[in-house]
Amino acid sequence: MSKPKHITIVGAGLVGSLLAVYLNRRGYKVSVFEKRADMRKSNVSAGRSINLALAQRGIHALEQAGLMNDVLPLLIPMKGRMLHEIGSQPEFFPYGQREHEVIYSVSRGGLNNMMMTAAESNSDTEFFFEHELVDVDLKNDHLKFVDLGVGKERSVSFDFLIGADGGGSQVRSELMEACGGKCSAEMLDHDYKELEIPADKDGGFLIDKNSLHIWPRGGFMLIALPNLDGSFTVTLFMPTRGETSFEQISKNNVASFFEEVFPSAAKLMPELETDFCLNPTGDLGTIRCYPWVHDNAMILGDAAHAIVPFHGQGMNCGFEDCAKLDRLLNEFDDDWTRAADEFQKTRKPNADAIADMALENYVIMRDSVSDDLFQKKKVLGFELERRFPRRFIPRYSMVMFHDIPYHDAIQRGLIQDEIMSGLLKGKDDPLDVDYEAAETLIVEKLSELTFAF
């Protein structure tokens, strides 16, 4: 198995498509099986969110795959959060303090289609759409698909199998069973629904184009990301059940609910009632499992580590998986046994760390962004980063603007938070702190970072 010639990928979502590009650049014959129809030919949606936030880790992986020139026209920079509190003017909070410290809104379908086309431009890569995986025989290296176009089963054998089939991965189920692995699915008791703020009549943006808009309301929130056509995709995150929940909102009261709790957004959403009724409500969860590799099969992307979307990192992390696997294949001279094993060992702690940070960020986004101590720590964090750039980087920036392993980001973030809490004790002005004491603590507690800026 060490050096297979033919790689079979299940799932032509974001991660499977990027992986196909990486693997055909390495000279492999690649077959990708996808249950959906080809989004480039038929009007099927890419599923889940319409647009996503792309950040440094994802950009780096796209650059390494040679795709960045094709991605650039799809991007809208978002420089910070625009907070919409009831009864006050929207307030802007930058994500970072350097010009390049922005994240980008990108269309899921546009990005997915571009990557599939790039992969297919290599004659050794073939996509099989409308092929739903229904059975995995890891002992005999056989897969069974239903060809949904003709309604017939089809058997396929594989050299090396990669499951990039998302959070509900069938490859993962079989792999866990085959090797007695452990898997947990922790569902959030909050769901989401996508809505829309359309463009104005001239195709312009009705709210600031270069922000990620948030209407934080404590137990729930609304967010909006810009699209190239002047519209915004709006997402409502809210408890599934309870007093203010999806259970309580229907066509009859959605307009009055929005007018009461999101008045500034409600007036920009003429199709609110229709969108609310027609658009599906999605659930959210975290998958933790191990191992990710068994003989000549492995999983990556959401199939290995689906996370909640509140740090905007699921796709970015999956893209980073592709770049890391490629680097390990370089390092081990395409010995897949060693590369895949090293991949799972080094990625798993990082996947767990971003899963934890993503869950934490839900509370931050819907609640703490408007909290006084949170804002003071933001201001102080930027100042400490400016003064001690090799040792202190705000955690959000470590995750979004750097390639620092997620596990290191979470560990350093805890220490940094403790340092800032101490410095801010009894202070009204977050910049009026003892910087000598700060330096002593930072040097003592945080090692110097060795990455390139």
Residues that bind ligand FAD (CB under 6 A): 10-16, 33-36, 48-49, 52-53, 132-133, 164-166, 170, 192, 235, 282, 301-303, 309, 312-316, 318
Q: How far is the CB of 93 from ligand FAD (least distance, A)?
A: 18
Q: How far is the CB of 165 from ligand FAD (least distance, A)?
A: 4
| Identity at 330, one-letter amino acid code | N
Q: Are 96 and 102 in contact (CB under 8 A)?
A: yes
Closer residue to ligand FAD (CB): 45 or 88: 45
Closer residue to ligand FAD (CB): 96 or 312: 312
Q: How far is the CB of 222 from ligand FAD (least distance, A)?
A: 13
Residue nearest to ligand FAD (CB): 13
Closer residue to ligand FAD (CB): 39 or 423: 39
Q: Are 374 and 326 in contact (CB under 8 A)?
A: no
Q: How far is the CB of 337 from ligand FAD (least distance, A)?
A: 23
Closer residue to ligand FAD (CB): 141 or 191: 191
Tokens 């190239």 belong to 228
Q: How far is the CB of 438 from ligand FAD (least distance, A)?
A: 33
Buried/exposed code over 45-80 (b: 16+ C-beta within 10 A; e: otherwise): ebebbbbbbbbbbbbbbbebbebeeebeebbbebbb
Burial of 252 (0-12, 13-18, 19+ CB in 10 A): exposed
Cα separation, 251 vs 207, whole angstroms: 25
The C-alpha torsion from 44 through 300 and 288 to 409, rounded to 10°, is -110
Closer residue to ligand FAD (CB): 291 or 318: 318
203: phi > 0 → left, psi -120 to 50 → alpha, else beta; which?
A: left
Tokens 């081990």 belong to 332
Closer residue to ligand FAD (CB): 39 or 433: 39
Cα separation, 211 vs 78, whole angstroms: 4
Q: How far is the CB of 38 from ligand FAD (least distance, A)?
A: 11
